[in-house]
A = this chain, B = another copy of it.
């Protein structure tokens, strides 16, 4: 972003270029303030058990009730061997790994509980591992948690591992947000000398701990009763959670420390569940193709369908997978967080006060708005921006290059501080007391973002000798996807021009994938197989991508034959005009 001569005269300066020489107060425009919101609660919708589930066979974490023979002078076998003998005899479990903390309380637990104990075991590794030995019969409950660490939002599912049901959900903003909005700024912060990385690790651990506690409290559960956690997130989020320096993720050739994290326990990550609970970090594929996507492929079934499928997860980044049962190819587009409201002058997150839908009267060019929460508008969220852009284009407020037509007979088009702009809400109608506008630079940002995503589709299809016409279904994940207006997303060229019944919105596919992998070891193996099988195309060095990206920076595209339905709309409008 550059400041205009007028801005400079008015005393504006770019914060990122400013050296702070003393104490200062920072005013945040109201639409940037983070208020907890429906979106976050909505992602926590009812989830049903997605498959046949029997904990005895499917679950890696199990409980075994043991009645152990007390020792005598004639049978002086040691405590652990007595327990192991019973586990072998009654449950066929052998060669169990025993962590020292469990051993330290074993003698007293056995005697205080009169040799009747409930053993918690994790069978997730080659060698079964003792997690805890609880006094008496505690076979009533067994809990796990599935966690999706988004750059913006963290979602937790609290799961009853006996029934497989999600019994509570909770979501909140990732505590790291105060150290940067997108992955790149997080990486920069983590790469600073000193404690940047560990501060970010602690921030996300604290977010997870709060969510776990909130969910557990509602059910009167002690978080210590959670004996396994499955975690997904993009590779940067996973690195930070694990305390791995993420700096190489943003430096060419973009190499992660690890895509398939090894066995990690809760106490190594400051997570307040059972300290010896496994934190199963699901595998990713590359620096910009993380476990959130492999989990999304799992839960969307992209890897297990006969239909040629395009799977898109639009969050803070735009990752997509093209494929079916036999093959999977993927790429990530540095779309940036434009659709989350960042880089847009009056953009904001999808919280209350955000305009989420816009209709423009083709004659008067007057807009009608729908605002989240129903009050006065404060800014525009992603779906609002898409809707606005589509309406502006279809009603001729902009041309196909996104230029605003200043000759229209309405005061809503005008030249503002940042050049041409369109007024969506007058100061008197807005919550901020200022005009809410969209400017030419805003539109350019949005065009770049949607062009990057569309170019990704094309490159993936071409990489397997197909075109987008071959797509038999398009599956859209990410909380953002749920509120996308297909018609308008096609009109701006964000989605390919397919029959509407080929689109399916799946909500938080990442969290759902984590949940599936938490439940069933077969599903966990599937994610690993997906990560192994998936080809990742690095677009950073790809000229073909750049060409497609340039061609897509129009509404809906330079090549209108790729958007026949939009062409039809435009023709009918022209006919109307």
Contact = CB atoms under 8 A, between A and B. Distances in A.
State how many copies of this chain the complex holds: 2
A334 to B, nearest CB: 15
Given A76-B538, A258-B81, A104 B244 contact: yes
Interface in A522-536: 536
B256 A78 contact: yes
A455 to B, nearest CB: 18
Interface stretch (A3-11, A95-103, A340-348, A512-520): A95-103
A78 B541 contact: no
Given A103-B242, A126-B126, A80 B536 contact: no
Contact of A253 (B72, B111, B262, B540): B72
A243 interface: yes
Interface centre among A126, A255, A259 (most CB of B within 10 A): A255
Contacts of A536: 76
B78 A259 contact: yes
B98 A252 contact: no
Given A263-B97, A538-B73, A107 B244 contact: yes
Interface string A227-261: 00000000000000011110110001111111111
A142 interface: no
A286 interface: yes
A71 interface: yes
A564 to B, nearest CB: 36
A104 B255 contact: no
Contacts of A286: 76
A252 B103 contact: no
Contacts of A97: 262-263
Contacts of A126: 95, 126-127
A79 B257 contact: yes
A570 interface: no
A287 B78 CA distance: 9
Contacts of A538: 73, 76
A248 B73 CA distance: 13
Interface centre among A257, A263, A540 (most CB of B within 10 A): A257
A217 interface: no
B107 A247 contact: yes
A90 interface: no
B257 A76 contact: no
Contact of A107 (B78, B99, B245, B253): B245
- 8 tightest A-B contacts by CB? A98-B262, A80-B258, A78-B256, A73-B253, A71-B255, A107-B257, A78-B259, A73-B541
Interface of A: 71-73, 76-81, 95, 97-100, 103-104, 106-108, 111, 126-127, 242-245, 247-248, 252-264, 268, 286-287, 536, 538, 540-541
20 contacts: A73-B538, A73-B541, A76-B286, A76-B287, A76-B536, A79-B257, A97-B262, A100-B268, A103-B258, A103-B262, A104-B242, A104-B244, A104-B245, A106-B258, A107-B244, A107-B245, A107-B247, A107-B255, A107-B257, A127-B127
